[in-house]
Amino acid sequence: MFRIGQSSDIHQLAEGRRLVLGGVEIEHTKGLVGHSDADALLHAIAEAVIGALGEGDLGKHFPDTDPQYKGISSLLLLEQVTKLMESKGYRIGNVDALIMIERPKMAPHIPLMRQNIAQALHCAEDQVNVKATRGEKLGFVGREEGVLAQAVVLLEKAEA
């Protein structure tokens, strides 16, 4: 049995914040604003898994009003989502994710992102695809006001 989930996550870019995407801290003049580390890529992936399981959304499981999640690494949140997925008898078939950001270039960081995501999801790196695109100076992405990440996941029923 297969289940598909998809999600998007948007975070504002601001001076004086860390830029963390895919569990990788990236040197840049701006970073993402949020209650946790604001890793939009991992948030989209985690919520896609939660959606595939029919378990609501990320905010239901990790509310931004809960102080225990203040500044938390989104890799830890993704690991918690993996535990939920496995407790429901599923495993990752594959993940396809997209980061929309004007700058900086993501290509040098994608291999480590894939490694981090695969480790957190208990799957092989070749089951995780991450790609990036620019806003071509259009919209909030192009004006460097924020980042949009999208993810689609395929879950497979784990063999008993």
Contact between 82 and 120 under an 8 Å Cβ cutoff? The reply is: yes
On whether 64 is known to bind a ligand per the annotation, the reply is yes
Distance CA 96, CA 85 (A): 17
**58 annotated among ligand-binding-site residues:** yes
Q: Is 66 annotated as a binding residue?
A: yes
Domains, the chain: 2-157 (3.30.1330.50)
For the chain, helix, strand, coil in percent to 5 are 35, 30, 30
Return the percentage of the chain with pLDDT > 70, whole number: 99
Give the predicted TM-score (pTM) of the model: 0.96
103: annotated binding-site residue?
yes
Q: What is the pLDDT of residue 106?
A: 98
pLDDT tens by residue, 89-148: 999 999 999 999 999 999 999 999 999 999 999 999 999 999 999 999 999 999 999 999
| Residues in Cβ contact with 111 at an 8 Å cutoff, skipping those fewer than 6 apart | none
Say how far apart CA 154 and CA 134 lie, in whole Å: 26
Q: Judge whether 43 is annotated as a binding position.
A: yes
Please tell me the predicted confidence (pLDDT) of residue 153.
Answer: 98
pLDDT for 122 equals: 98
- Distance from C-alpha of 63 to C-alpha of 132, rounded to nearest angstrom: 28
Confidence of residue 80 (pLDDT cuts 50, 70, 90): very high
Per-residue pLDDT band at 160 (split at 50, 70, 90)? low
- Residues 4-29, mean pLDDT to the nearest whole number: 97
Q: Is 142 annotated as a binding residue?
A: no
pLDDT digits (tens, 9 = 90+) for 55-74: 999 999 998 888 888 889 99
**3-state DSSP of 67-111:** HHHCCCCHHHHHHHHHHHHHHCCEEEEEEEEEEECCCCCCHHHHH
Q: 65 labelled as ligand-binding?
A: yes
62 assigned ligand-binding residue: yes
* pLDDT over 80 (residue 1): yes
pLDDT of residue 159: 79
